[in-house]
Amino acid sequence: MKYVHFFLLSIIFLASCTTKEKPVTKEEAVQFAKSLEKSIAVRNENFFNNAFDMDAILSKMKAAAPGESGSFWKGVKKGMGEKLKLGSKVIQSLGSKGTYSIVKQYQQGDKQHVLFRLFSDGSINYHDFELVNKDGIIKIADMFIYITGELFSKTLTDIFREVHSSDDKNYAALDDFSKLNKLVQKKEYEEAKEMLNRLPENLKKTKTLQLKALEIYLETDTAQYALIAEKFRHDFPDDPSLNLALLDGMIVKEKYDGALDCINQLDSRINKDPLLDYYRGLLYNLQGKTETALAAFEQLYKNMPEFSPGAMELCTYYMDKDNYKQAAAIIKKAKTNKDFDESVLENLQAQYPRLKQFTSD
Q: What is the mean pLDDT of residues 103-128?
A: 94
Which of left, alpha, beta for 272 (phi over 0: left; psi -120 to 50: alpha)? beta
Give the count of alpha carbons within 13 A of 102, CB side only: 16
Distances in Å between the Cα of 28 and the Cα atoms of 52, 84, 107, 111 are 16, 23, 12, 12
Helix (H) or strand (E) holding 243: helix 242-252
pLDDT digits (tens, 9 = 90+) for 161-218: 766 665 555 556 666 777 888 888 788 999 999 999 888 887 787 888 888 899 899 8
Q: Decide: pTM greater than 0.85.
A: no
Burial of 69 (0-12, 13-18, 19+ CB in 10 A): exposed
Report pLDDT for 230: 84
Question: Considering the chain, what percentage of its residues have pLDDT values greater than 90?
Answer: 49
Q: Alpha carbon 281 to chain centroid distance? A: 20
Report pLDDT for 361: 61
**Phi–psi pair at 133, nearest 5 degrees:** -105, 115
Q: What is the mean pLDDT of residues 299-328?
A: 96
Q: What is the mean pLDDT of the chain?
A: 85
The residues that bridge with 155 in the sheet, in sequence order, are none
Q: Pick the residue with more confidence: 205 or 244? A: 244
**pLDDT band at residue 222 using 50, 70 and 90 as cut-offs:** confident
Give the count of alpha carbons within 13 A of 198, CB side only: 14
